[in-house]
Amino acid sequence: FLPRGFARLIAARYRDAAHMTVYSEGHRDEADRWFSQNKTVIYSGFNEDSRPPIPQEPAQFRILLTGSIYDDACLARLIGGIRDWLPGFANDVVFSYAGNDGERVKRQAQSLQGLCEIDIRDFLAYDELIALQKASSINVYIHNPRSLFQHKTLELLAPGVPVIAI
């Protein structure tokens, strides 16, 4: 991902590192060109043994926002869109959040009060998070504009329900 000269400079800077972790076998192959140390693949975002749930109609329509909130304006657009959409939706709706930015989400989600249930949770253990993602009707995340690769997309596709990226 780096220009050749810069890659050489980075490789030289970390030549004495004892070990390296990489995102995938492909990343390991690429890193082997520049780094001689042993590497361990740690897949980011989800367990590759996860299976999509058996499709079933949820009792409630759950919109689950997961992860960091990189931009309050994007969060405001999401909340505003949900607020505008809710009056035309007949079923029970739950707006949920799981992550470290619960206070930020809670402040903006107040505008949904009385229109739907609001369920704000802190950072969840992986098994709890994947169970909640699988039980949701839609999984949502706010993309990180500073990241070239949006690994959250893959994490949210794994449960087998639709994904919205803001």
Per residue in 45-103, pLDDT (tens digit) is 555 555 554 545 557 899 999 999 999 999 999 999 999 999 877 678 999 999 999 99
Three-state DSSP state, 93: strand
Read off the pLDDT of residues 79-91 as tens digits, 9 standing for 90 and up: 999 999 998 776 7
Backbone angles phi, psi at 56, to 5 degrees: -150, 155
Q: pTM score, two decimals?
A: 0.68
For 14-49, the pLDDT digits (tens) are 888 899 888 788 888 888 888 889 999 887 655 555
Q: How many Å separate Cα 70 from the centre of its chain?
A: 12
Residues forming beta bridges with residue 21, ordered by sequence position: 40
Using alpha carbons, list the distances in angstroms from residue 124 to 66, 67, 128, 129, 145.
Answer: 10, 10, 6, 6, 24
pLDDT tens-digit readout, 115-157: 999 999 999 998 899 999 999 999 999 988 777 677 788 888 8
3-state secondary structure of 141: strand
Q: Are the beta carbons of 24 and 45 closer than 8 angstroms?
A: no
Task: Indicate the residue type of 99.
Answer: G
DSSP per-residue string spanning 95-133: EEEESTTHHHHHHHHGGGBTTBEEEEE----HHHHHHHH
pLDDT of residue 51: 54
List, in order, residues 6 or more apart from 143 with CB less than 8 Å away.
70, 150, 152, 165, 166
